[in-house]
Amino acid sequence: MAGQRSLLTGLVLWWTLVTVDSMQCLSIAGKPVDWYVVYKLPILSKSLNPIMSRGLGFYYLDVDSPTWILSKVGIDGKVANPVYNTLQQIYSSSKNGSYMYAMYNDQTPSSESLNHGHSKGVLSFDTQEGFWLVHSTPHFPPNRTMGWAWPDSAMDYGQAFLCVSYPIAMMEKIGEQFLYTYPKIYDKNFPASFAAKSPVMNQILGDKQSHVKQLPWYHKTTLVSKAGHNFVSYAKFGKFMADLYDNLVAIDLQSDMMVETWQKGGVKENLPTNCSIQYKVYNVENVTFPVGGVYFLETKDHSKWAVSVDKGGWTCIGDINRQRSQFHRAGGTVCFQQKQVWKSFRALVGNHDTSTQGRGLFITRVSDEMLVGPI
């Protein structure tokens, strides 16, 4: 009987996936969804749950259920896994001429690139719509020909994912952001039919990848999802030479921000909380999930997210850290206003650094000319 139930579950999931006619984010149930967020947990060695103790546990929320749900399965699996469901559209498709995709990561499945942006994600569109999956996981995902797998190297630390479904009109706007984030493309399919209609994306996925070559060294654009929700994408090129959150996001959102990014670079590398500016930027020191009682220090987290402290209800998920070495690295984040999502992320902040160590350490841009152009 148990075997029959497993077979039935597999058939239902397979039918759900193969009957989706267009590229889009697929939920934890394998159904089309406008957007979702996944927070993969670090190894929780003291947990009695084998999924959690191996570093494969994850929380999920989406447009229809914007509060944290603790998954009963691992992020490496093929059942009830929104990341798998979404990427499987690429892995299983044989219609190479009817859709495009691009996988990018500064730490590809087989190498590492310091010449490109500190940027990670997957983009895919058919002729009508598609999805943009922004994440923080090194060496992920595998090339299309390799098929789905979760890398062994991605067990230890926390990671974050934001998937948004967009109409085809947004593909060129995302391409504009890529001119600034300069992602390392390691696997792609970009048919001539797409290239002819997408001159900006062709600069990214064509024979020779291009990037921005003049001021300003940053760019902001508003992307409108398939269901009409606004997502604000911030991107910086390496010549921006400053922290993304201090020098762009907090200023533009006009809000103090709490930021969770990789902070294991040492005293000389990590940026302290910055209280010397109008809109302060605080480092998150630990993460606590009220649902499930999960707690971990920021030293176990590789995700990159931020929330406004008490104004605007902003949540941001991206791929670049608050570190000095990343002043000269390209990268970005995607921010959106959704009150319940903001509450869900804001509740994760178990503690944040409110010290004044950041006073006087604000890194100004090389010249005022770098501010040319509207944010």
| Cα gap 79→72, rounded to integer Å | 10
Helix (H) or strand (E) holding 92: helix 82-92
Active site residue 352: no
Parallel, antiparallel, or unpaired for β 257-260 and 281-289?
parallel
| Cα gap 227→133, rounded to integer Å | 16
Question: CB under 8 Å to 145, separation ≥6 — which residues?
Answer: none
For 78, phi then psi, to 5°, come to -115, 5
Question: CB under 8 Å to 169, separation ≥6 — which residues?
Answer: none
CA distances from 232 to 71, 93, 146, 318, 332 (A): 28, 30, 33, 11, 11
From 139, 302, 328, 352, active-site residue: 302
Task: Using alpha carbons, select from 249, 214, 231 the residue that is nearest to residue 331.
Answer: 249
Q: Is the separation of the CB atoms in 64 and 73 below 8 Å?
A: no
* Exposed e or buried b per residue across 51-90, where buried means at least 16 C-beta atoms within 10 angstroms of its C-beta: bbeebbbbbbbbbeebebebbebbbbeeebbbbbbbbbbb
| Cα gap 28→230, rounded to integer Å | 22
**Which residues are catalytically annotated?**
302
